Amino acid sequence: MVNHALRPAPVIALVTALAAVLAGTTGVGAAGPQSVPQSGPIRTIVEAILPKITLPPGFHIEVFAIVPGARQIAVSPTGKTVVVGAWRNPPHVVDATATTAERLVIPLAASRSYRVPNGVCFAPDGTLYLAEANAITAFPDIEAHRTEPAPPAKAIVANGALVPPAEIGGAHSARVCKVGPDNRLYVAVGQPYNVPPKSKQDRYRRLGLGGILRMDRDGKDREVFATGIRNSVGLDFNPTDGTLWFTDNQVDLMGDDIPPGEMNRADKPGLDFGFPWYGGGHTRTHEYAGDSPPADVVFPEAEMVAHAADLGLTFYRGTAFPPDYRGGIYSAQHGSWNRSVPVGARVMFTPIKPDGHAGEPRPFAEGWKTPSGGYLGRPVDLAELPDGSLLVSDDRNGALYRIWYAP
């Protein structure tokens, strides 16, 4: 079974590996972890992509940093530090205050072993949470310790204790996290099948596999906040009303045009979003077509083009963008792998209506997909900097882009 959100095609894997080698991301020197060089062949490749990216009038894009394997992004409460999760590389800590040429990009706890260190999120007090495939670790005050080989860390969920180890495969094991307005930690947990067998479905739902877990920030009082989710790799809270929004990747191999990708809204705990009876939107899965779905299924707020691999998202909280581009959701489409005509590899904008529900999604930044169907880059996540600009990660090239507005 293949996960279209993470499947590394041979060329992508080669480029990612080359980026890691050229950047020299591993190892701890005598004075601490080595910073990733911000100039050289990889940056040249990424800079050459920029003229191909189309944006609305007045918006601009630049390379913010070279970060091998860049995926999920977390910006510290001070805005001075950006932490970037990864799939195969270690997470990296980025100095957001320096100029491009002087920017430090340092592996987080370089001597530590990681397993899919994808999910990163900050609490208001500056604690960084790292959600791996089967563990959650807290790094208190990472800004004061970011250049140390082994910064202070505390296991919030011990290794092997997030989900039963036997239920983790190569697919859907990239976690994402967010600290909610209730000061609790939310973690999205994908389940390890394209569509799970009926013999495992009840167990998965009880465990929160294919759901969102909620727990105290020390890992206690864990509960299943939402279920009926196939594989969410992006979540954020609406700052206006506190509702949780998240993407969900639809079932693979059902055809080019079904089922749609999902953007969902959870305004309370205990909601069921319909998987595996529904493979995306209102499309029933073949495996569960003869079974009655739950009566209270919550359908998506917005449907996306099938198989675009909708991953990270963020609410735009700033005022630097024009009014038509404020207050909504910016989300990343990683790009399809199982579609005869590739789609995705772009950033979408979904406005939020006055009643708190979604408007019609529309493309915001495009050009990482070539006319022939190849990929120049693959966006994964977005985050807002204090100046109101947006960061976009690209795990194909190992880079962070910055998008800003200046008419």
Q: Give dist(CA 15, CA 89) in Å, integer.
A: 13
* Domain assignment of residue 14, yes or no: yes
DSSP codes joined into one string, 100-143: GGG--EEETTTTS--S---EEEE-TTS-EEEE-SS-EEEETTHH
Task: Write the CATH number for 399.
Answer: 2.120.10.30
* Domain assignment of residue 164, yes or no: yes
Give the Å distances, CA to CA, from 8 to 142, 203, 278, 313, 364.
31, 30, 26, 21, 25
Three-state helix/strand/coil letters over 145-169: HCCCCCCCCEEEECCCCCCCHHHCC
* Domain assignment of residue 150, yes or no: yes
Residue 345 has pLDDT above 80, yes or no: yes
Question: Per-residue pLDDT tens for 67-92?
Answer: 999 999 999 999 999 999 999 999 99
Instruction: List the beta bridge partners of residue 75.
Output: 82
* Domain assignment of residue 1, yes or no: no
**220 lies in which domain range?**
10-405
Question: What's the chain's average pLDDT?
Answer: 92
* Domain assignment of residue 3, yes or no: no
DSSP codes joined into one string, 314-360: EE---SSS-GGGSSSEEEEE---SS-SS----EEEEE-B-TTS-B--
* Domain assignment of residue 358, yes or no: yes
Q: What secondary structure letter does DSSP report for 52?
A: G
Question: Per-residue pLDDT tens for 381-405?
Answer: 999 999 999 999 999 999 999 999 9
The label of the residue with tokens 């059902």 reads 254
* Domain assignment of residue 133, yes or no: yes
Question: Per-residue pLDDT tens for 112-131?
Answer: 999 999 999 999 999 999 99
CA 281 from chain centre, in angstroms, equals: 21
What's residue 169's pLDDT?
A: 76
* Domain assignment of residue 4, yes or no: no
Q: Helix, strand, coil % (nearest 5) of the chain?
A: 10, 30, 55
How many domains does one find in the chain?
1
What's residue 134's pLDDT?
A: 96
